Structure 1
Amino acid sequence: MAIRKQKIHKDSINLYRFIRLMLGKDISDRQIAQSWKMDEKNFHEFKEGKYPVPRLGKLAELASALKLDKYIICQVAEGVSAQKVYNLYKTDNHDGLIKLMSDHLYKAHKSVTKQWGQYRDLFNNANDAIFLADAKTGEILNCNQEAEILLGRSRKEIVGMHQSQLHPLQKKDYYKKHFKSHVKMGKIVETGIQQVVRKDGTIVPILISSRVMKINGKKVIQGIFRDISGQKSRR
């Protein structure tokens, strides 16, 4: 009988490399596992790529332990070169980090769109906020948990809103025009730095990648919003 090879999780190895780059060699794996509240055996397997990248909650804990924005950790966890992210971070190259986030967001959007019917879990557990809006009316039809966190609103509050209500009121006309333009283009569209407004009135800088698609025969526009406030705050 053939022995089945164990799957190697390259993203886990990449994330471990980043942790080591950030912490150096003086801290032991045991100390890292303890600070991350991870079982030592699981951490050892994670280090060797035998254990998958933990889910978002654990990544947020790691970001807190390393005193980093969670979106930097999420990038590395999704396969962006640990060395590249580390170099940009250590040289305070904020524009480079934002560009890296934008490029990776584009690739993530292609993946989510391509696999939509097969992997609904990608939508619900994505590291970025995702909104689905009626391409004709602009009404929000669905959103994921990260969208709730981004806006400080429940899904029940968000669904039914007009897409322009996600953004600052004084820029309502701009975002309506922006939305129609994206619908017309149809393909994946990336934007420069945009803004959303939280329920408490806080303005949050974001990157947006949007694409028109059909779900159950209905034409919708899917928008992936990446919070970059952690990068902007370092300027």
Structure 2
Amino acid sequence: MPAKAQTPTPLNKHRGTAMVLRSEILVNKNVMPTAEQALPGRDTPMSLPEFHYVFKDTPLLGPFFEGAIDFAIFGLGCFWGAERRFWQREGVVSTVVGYAGGFTPHPTYEEVCSGLTGHTEVVLVVFDKDKVSYRELLAMFWELHNPTQGMRQGNDIGTQYRSAIYCTSPEQLEQAKASRDAFQAELSKAGFGEITTEIDQAPTVYFAEAYHQQYLAKNPDGYCGIGGTGVCLPPSLQGN
């Protein structure tokens, strides 16, 4: 499972400077905060429902007793639409949305939207490796969004919408980088720019508030900002 996130630096020693820099970030949410500038957060995690809203009898966070269970973490813009696409995939056992890659522990959605946490919106995908491979999930990830847009995804602008793959093993990290290079080749042929996706070992995922979990199952007409480039990985790179 994901490793510990970076510990936020206390702001009391640098509060004057931090507040000025926070104001600059509020004007431009494309600027990543530093640990000093980030909001302090809290020690208490968000309360979550016991069961997945779509997979009715499945515990949201496990334990998962059947199958060769593994975990993947993807950021590809607004997590509402991203989560729906992954729970629709055969072999996916559970999905949970949250925040990762920043500094603020257990942030609220409003804090993430401020641009002062450093987090991006992510989906934790729990999957059965006997039914869907990590490479197949990577293909979904690349094809579902535009990974060349930096601190935005479509009309959603800010650091919380940046593209990211957080890997839970060295094998995942190797596969993620290989798939990035392969997808870059296809994007370049189609006239797109350089991939800006952040690929790294997994930090802590701080789970989002209960109302965000499986949001589009509860609100079928809700907003979904997910949209791909129309570029696909070659079939030979989409399998096991």
TM range (shorter): under 0.3
Q: Which has the larger radius of gyration?
A: 1
Q: Which has the higher contact order (CA 8 A, sep 6+)?
A: 2
TM-score by length of 2: 0.26
